Amino acid sequence: MSNYLKTLAVVIAGTTALSGATLAPAYAETVKLTILGAGDLYNFTETGGRGGFARLNAVARAEKAANPNMLYVFDGDMLSPSLLSGFDKGQNTIDLTNIVPFDIAVPGNHEFDFGTENFLQKVGASEYPWAAINITHADGSPIDGLGGTMMKEIAGLKIALVPVAQDTTPVVSSSGDWKFEGTVSSAIAAAKAARAEGADLVVGVIQTDHANDREIAASHAFDVIMSGDDHDYMTGYDGITAYVETSTDAKFLAPLDLTVEIGENDGKRTISWTPHFRYIDTATVTPDPETQALVDELKTTLDASLNTDIGTTNTALDSRRNIVRTEESAMGNLIADAMRAANGADLAITNGGGIRADREYEAGTMLTRRDILSELPFGNVTVVSELTGQQILDGLENGFSLVEEGGGRFPQVSGIKIEIDTSKPAGERVVSVMVGDAPLDPAATYKVATNDYMLRGGDGYTAFVGGNVLIDDRNGDLMANDVIEYILQTGSVDAKVEGRIVKK
């Protein structure tokens, strides 16, 4: 457990004693405020009887009915990736959340997987406001349809909702030339500004990782932080700032109740509050009927086209997150082989973070279209570019630079064999690369199949930018289609781990 979480787990001792040493204000009113946060909502239906939009909407409806002084916030990632988003670019998530709208929604990095134009289309279709204080056009001008800090008056309280997006978005998604200012610095500055403008409570609605969460919380600029991105369920309080990490796919929810005392001391308005965290395992929640009806309709539409057999795997396949992001994977080999074969490339490199189903397939499993689209939900296109051996080497060094952290840039490959030494510093880990039977020649040019996201420099693959593009994203086929066709043509799958990536 991190020091931050240990700190958050304990209310600072002595607070009561300290307050008792001062003149107690004459409280005039007590307000109960409920804040429900949700984020990282991908699958439109439940998983194993838990989560999904129907259960989320049921909880949101119940909380609104129980307490009119309620805020419902979204802290990023819904348009992608999912099986259905590969078809509708996330429209299903907008339709499902419009049933019980948020008070505010912050765009996560996955809101841009289909580009900024699609994001703005989805904003226009939303019956709730989207906002982020740190996103602008490249010239610094505001994005139409994207708001900033929101001030809300609830039961005599002036509450600032500070929406903050993840500043790494341009690296991990397709946000075009939009500018993302620093998450931490922007958040703290906006919170202080809101306080100066008279906010009684400052609530951060933020998509960022735990490291940034810790820094933002330690600033004590916020009363409450609702954070997404890490896919964890987590709550904490350090006596000043309350914190909720909002889980994923609404599997576990944490409504936060604040008992707020509004008073007066020496003629000045005073605000104090205490938090109460509640835990909801949505396996215990009855789905919202209106939402479930739409979920069932979406599921029926999908089933007809996706539950189609394409071929049997003769070997075990593994797409678990901790495998595809840290080592050679049979599923990764299958995907890379299909990309290379479909385009006549010398080699193929694709990022393990784009392989998403997080499951195992026993030998003898009949694979379906649904299986492949679940593995490759982003709608990425296979592209081909002529790259020098040096560009390939630089790209591979980037791919192995975050092995310890399980970074999504880890490469799954075809047509090459690589030896790496993870004890060496990032950028110096590739020991050798063989292309076929010959060593990689830094000065030679190779025909490389990859995905359109990486070709644009995504996941840090800036070395792949600037090659001679032979097949671009307008002319290439979906990666998923390449894999489906590859399996259909071969009739079965024989992919296995065979030493393409060897760690010293």
Q: For 7-40, how does the pLDDT look when each residue is reduced to its tens digit (9 = 90+)? A: 333 332 322 222 333 344 455 899 999 999 999 9
Mention every residue, 6+ apart, whose C-beta is less than 8 A from residue 260.
Answer: 30, 31, 32, 33, 157, 200, 201, 271, 272, 273
For the residues 469-487, what does the mean pLDDT come to?
91
pLDDT at 429 exceeding the cut of 80: yes
Domain chopping of the chain, boundaries: 3-9+30-128+208-261+274-299, 307-503
For the residues 470-479, what does the mean pLDDT come to?
87
pLDDT in tens, 56-82: 999 999 999 999 999 999 999 999 988
pLDDT at 500 exceeding the cut of 50: yes
d(CA 215, CA 56): 29
CA angle 100, 105, 110 (to 5 degrees): 110
d(CA 131, CA 147): 4
Whether omega before 68 lies within 30 degrees of 0, making that bond cis, reads no
d(CA 443, CA 236): 54
Share of the chain above pLDDT 70, in %: 95
What was the pLDDT predicted at 27?
54
What are residue 233's DSSP bridge partners?
A: 246
Cβ(11)–Cβ(239) below 8 Å: yes
**pTM summary value:** 0.77
pLDDT at 50 exceeding the cut of 50: yes
pLDDT in tens, 400-416: 999 999 999 999 999 99
pLDDT in tens, 442-462: 999 999 999 999 999 999 999
Q: Predicted confidence band at 86 (pLDDT cuts at 50, 70, 90)?
A: confident
Q: Predicted confidence band at 303 (pLDDT cuts at 50, 70, 90)?
A: confident
Which tokens belong to 470?
A: 């032979």
**Beta sheet of 157-164, edge-to-edge order:** 150-154, 157-164, 201-207, 224-228, 242-246, 233-237
d(CA 225, CA 212): 12
Q: Does the CA dihedral 403-409-414-416 come out positive or negative?
A: negative
pLDDT in tens, 145-163: 999 999 999 999 999 999 9
What was the pLDDT predicted at 15?
29
Within this chain, domains 3-9+30-128+208-261+274-299 and 307-503 share the same CATH topology: no
pLDDT at 2 exceeding the cut of 50: no
Which tokens belong to 66?
A: 């129980």
Cβ(97)–Cβ(130) below 8 Å: no
* Single-letter code of the amino acid located at 327: E
Name which CATH class applies to 3-9+30-128+208-261+274-299: alpha beta
What was the pLDDT predicted at 12?
26
B/e letters for 269-292, b = 16+ CB within 10 Å, e = fewer, are ebbebebeeeebebeebebbeebb
Name which CATH class applies to 307-503: alpha beta
pLDDT at 4 exceeding the cut of 70: no
pLDDT at 434 exceeding the cut of 60: yes
Give the ranges where 307-348 is alpha helix by DSSP (H).
321-324, 330-343
pLDDT in tens, 185-235: 999 999 999 999 999 999 999 999 999 999 999 999 999 999 999 989 999
pLDDT in tens, 368-409: 999 999 999 988 999 999 999 999 999 999 999 999 999 999
d(CA 74, CA 210): 17
pLDDT at 324 exceeding the cut of 80: yes
What was the pLDDT predicted at 85?
86
What was the pLDDT predicted at 266?
87
Pick from 156-160, 276-280, 470-474: least confident = 470-474
For the residues 104-126, what does the mean pLDDT come to?
96
pLDDT at 173 exceeding the cut of 80: yes
**Directed axis angle between helix 53-66 and helix 289-306, to 10°?**
170
**Directed axis angle between helix 289-306 and helix 91-98, to 10°?**
160
Q: What average pLDDT is seen over the chain? A: 93
Q: Which of 9, 152, 144 lies closest to 72, judged by CA?
A: 152
